[in-house]
Amino acid sequence: MNSRKPKPPQLVEKKAIRVQVNDREYTGNVDVRKTLVDFIREDLALTGTHVGCEHGVCGACTIILNGRAVRSCLMFAVQADGLEIKTVEGLGTPEHLHPIQEAFRDHHGLQCGFCTPGFLMTALAFLSETPDPSKDQIREVLAGNLCRCTGYQGIVDAVEDAATRLKTGTR
Ligand code: FES
Ligand code: FES
């Protein structure tokens, strides 16, 4: 005799949220257990934000939430309700790169590019608070983002140069 009981149906609880994403408003229902990074990638189709470790270690999923760099794999989407999100898609366009993107390009601050959106968003939040950073400060803030390709020197140089570009308005 089969003693296994049928599993109860899984209930997906949803909640309505409203977020500002790259200056556009989004309202919709989201699974209360969905992480912010999955919401950004799956519900908003903004796949520039990458998922690496899913444990808050690699920094690939970094976005800007109300002006601060956060790891979107460590939050639920519902926690962003009412807040402002900026993703890498909100930086420049292919025709008009943001100065931080230009600096990464010019200093070879990327190879495969998997980690790059996280580095860019980390750098953006950092430079808005620390417009004139020392090399040590740059290294310290970037220590929380992992890159398996570049050896980091190009990234550090890019962030240092980006600070100058942002201050002087040069590209
Ligand atoms: S995927 Fe979020 S920190 Fe690694
Ligand atoms: S450029 Fe490949 S992981 Fe950083």
**pLDDT tens readout for residues 109-147:** 999 999 999 999 999 999 999 999 999 999 999 999 999
Ligand 2 centroid, distance to 154 Cα (angstroms): 11
Q: Are the folds of 14-90 and 99-168 the same?
A: no
Write the CB contacts of 111 (distance below 8 Å, at least 6 apart in sequence).
149, 150
Minimum CA distance residue for ligand 1 atom 3: 56
The pLDDT of 30-35, averaged and rounded, is 97
The pLDDT of 13-33, averaged and rounded, is 97
Domain 14-90, second-level architecture: Roll (3.10)
How confident is the prediction for the chain on average, in pLDDT?
95
Q: Is the CB of 75 under 6 A from ligand 1?
A: no
Domains of the chain, residue spans? 14-90, 99-168
Q: Is the CB of 151 under 6 A from ligand 2?
A: no
Q: What sections of the chain are H helices per DSSP? A: 36-38, 99-106, 116-129, 135-142, 153-168
pTM: 0.92
- Ligand 1 pocket: which of 36, 49, 50, 71 to mutate (most atoms <8 Å of CB)? 71
User: For residue 53, which atom of ligand 1 is closest to its CA?
Assistant: 4
What pLDDT score was predicted for residue 11? 74
CATH of domain 99-168: 1.10.150.120
The pLDDT of 63-85, averaged and rounded, is 98
User: What separation in angstroms does the CA of 46 have from each of 83, 98, 112, 164?
Assistant: 17, 18, 19, 29
